[in-house]
Structure 1
Amino acid sequence: MRDESRRSEPGTGSTPAAVDPVPGEPAATATIEGDHALLLTDYHAGYEAGLRYERGVDVPSRAPDRRERLLALLERTGPDRLVVLGDLMHSIGDPGGAERGELEVLFESFAGDLEVTVVKGNHDGRIETWLADSDDIGATITVVPGEGIALGDIGVCHGHTWPSRAVLESEMVCLGHEHPCVRLEDEIGGSRVERAWLRGRLDPEPFRDRPEYEGVSWLEDADETPPRVVVVPAFNDLVGGTWINVAGQSFLSPFLPTGLAGAEAYLLDGTRLGPYESV
């Protein structure tokens, strides 16, 4: 998947913010405030315990597999910073024993010099009351609200609520929550569902009349180009998601799909599927 954002803006000589998907993985790298960063979303630690509690479905825990996949990604990409775009854990309230234990083992496995930014998702409950204060975790952890913050030129949020003003004033907006997937059919009627990236620009329509965004320049000046937007696929491969190319599927975020302008879908391996509505 070629990142067109790497091209310099005409007349400036500067390179805009860039988010580069890791081939074959639901994660991306970016340069944030001079740091090499790895971005991912919707880890949903403890998901299997949630299935037992919420639906009575007994699924063996895949916590070790999730942890090893993430640790392998960290080794592969060598980031200074890890940014989780929300839903690090699965339970809505306080984490249960298995869920909290999964996260503690995960974070104890991180290098001590790794900086971790966790954007609170709708499943993250009161994660800030214990995660950042755990004595057994060597990594530096910062938990920020779900409406997100600007990290250099990149605005990060979860997507379950309206983004902060700082996010909308960034060059690029990255969010999760949606778990975008595509359903692909073959010539004999067989089908499969695969996780997908969505990339495009923000459309001003859903944001324009909200008072908290008054004065945001691209919302008021039709000649100004809106920020690029990336909807990141879920890291957890069990959680399902929004089938973006199936009629009748509703998006989860309050500003999607109205807020997507010309968004295209890509598979994890980089295959470009074109405009997501026509896949």
Structure 2
Amino acid sequence: MTCVGYRYAHPCGDESPAVFEDCVYRDRALYVPGERTLVLADVHLGRDRASNVQLPLGERRDLLSRLEALLERFEPREVVVAGDLLHSFDHLPPTVERSLGAFERLIDERDARLVATRGNHDTMLESVFEAVVPECAVGDLLVCHGHERPSRAAGYLVGHVHPAIGIEGRKHPCYLRGPATGAGGELLVLPAFTRLAGGVDVARVGSFRSPLLGNPDAYRPIVSDDEGDETLEFPPLGEFRSLL
């Protein structure tokens, strides 16, 4: 990804808060090395059945192939989903149960454990999956979905927002880093892991649909350029928006 003409800061890490400094950004996911934990958000299994547009490879194959690549690269001992593992609120088609089973088996075959925090879409999840929790501690970080306030102050890893940003005519899924409003600490918002989610352009919104995020101007977009295997952290949106 080229960024000619834009003032981005640096590859992430040099100036990030200590709570996030060792995290590795890759393919809409985040790896926490000290805890050997891979964090995903907004997998939305079954999203293809609610969409008029399907990925050429199909939802299940796309999600599993990308998850497998992440498992091979990082060899985590735990995979934590920051909410919305499922998409449907009120029913579970057989295809979704099969996809969830394949998702679990792939992680289990790599000797890792799958944990899911409850998202607003996960009303049916506990009927088919046992390891569902409101939030999950990953070292000093707290993983939760972000649609409700967490139980304690921490550094947060959340989903829910589906952030993306348009740069040079192309929309990129992005991470957001900034203050946790009303909760103390810093937070990092992950993009939706499913590629069927178009993403909310963070440079164009007036507010975020999460009680943990305040004025959009305070948050830095972070874009993982997987082709170049680098991560670019841009200025806060209040400064960066005028450069787009």
Contact 2:222 2:232 (C-alpha < 8 Å) held by counterparts: yes
State the Cα distance separating 1:18 from its structure 2 match: 4.6
Q: Which residue of 1 aligns with 2:201?
A: 243
- What is the distance in 2 between the residues matched to 1:271 and 1:153? 24
- What is the distance in 1 between the residues matched to 2:210 and 2:132? 21
Q: 1:59 aligns with which of 48, 54, 60?
A: 54
Q: Which residue of 1 aligns with 2:50?
A: 50
Amino acid at match of 2:29: A
Q: Which segments of 5 or more consecutive residues in structure 2 lack a partner in the other structure?
A: 1-10, 226-230
- What is the distance in 2 between the residues matched to 1:249 and 1:100? 37
Structure 1 segments, 4+ long, off by >6 Å, are none
Q: Which residue of 2 aligns with 1:2?
A: 12
Alignment of 1:144-183 (within 5 A): 144-145=133-134, 148-165=135-152, 168=153, 170=154, 172-183=155-166
Alignment of 1:113-192 (within 5 A): 113-132=111-130, 142-145=131-134, 148-165=135-152, 168=153, 170=154, 172-185=155-168, 191-192=169-170
Alignment of 1:1-279 (within 5 A): 1-3=11-13, 4=15, 16=19, 18=21, 20-23=23-26, 25-31=27-33, 35-51=35-51, 57=52, 59=54, 61-112=58-109, 113-132=111-130, 142-145=131-134, 148-165=135-152, 168=153, 170=154, 172-185=155-168, 191-204=169-182, 207=183, 226-246=184-204, 248-258=205-215, 262-269=218-225, 270-277=231-238, 278-279=240-241
- What is the distance in 1 between the residues matched to 2:206 and 2:197? 16
Relative to the length of structure 2, the TM-score reads 0.81
State the Cα distance separating 1:19 from its structure 2 match: 5.3
- What is the distance in 1 between the residues matched to 2:22 and 2:122? 24
Summarize the Cα distance change of 1:64–1:180 in structure 2 as closer, same or farther, 3 Å threshold.
same
State the Cα distance separating 1:153 from its structure 2 match: 0.9
Contact 1:19 1:28 (C-alpha < 8 Å) held by counterparts: no
State the Cα distance separating 1:6 from its structure 2 match: 7.2
Instruction: Name the larger-Rg structure.
Output: 1
User: SS at the partner of 1:110?
Assistant: helix
Amino acid at match of 1:86: G
State the Cα distance separating 1:26 from its structure 2 match: 0.9
Amino acid at match of 1:21: V
User: SS at the partner of 1:101?
Assistant: helix
State the Cα distance separating 1:45 from its structure 2 match: 1.1
Amino acid at match of 2:108: A
State the Cα distance separating 1:249 from its structure 2 match: 4.8
CA RMSD of aligned residues (A): 2.3
Summarize the Cα distance change of 1:201–1:251 in structure 2 as closer, same or farther, 3 Å threshold.
closer
State the Cα distance separating 1:275 from its structure 2 match: 0.8
Relative to the length of structure 1, the TM-score reads 0.71
Give the paired residue count.
221
Contact 2:104 2:114 (C-alpha < 8 Å) held by counterparts: no
Identity of aligned residues (%): 31
- What is the distance in 2 between the residues matched to 1:37 and 1:2? 19
User: SS at the partner of 2:235?
Assistant: strand
User: SS at the partner of 1:274?
Assistant: coil
State the Cα distance separating 1:272 from its structure 2 match: 2.2
- What is the distance in 2 between the residues matched to 1:72 and 1:229? 26
Amino acid at match of 2:48: E
Does 1 or 2 have the higher relative contact order (CA < 8 Å, sep 6+)? 2
- What is the distance in 1 between the residues matched to 2:217 and 2:202? 14
State the Cα distance separating 1:5 from its structure 2 match: 5.2
Contact 1:180 1:197 (C-alpha < 8 Å) held by counterparts: yes
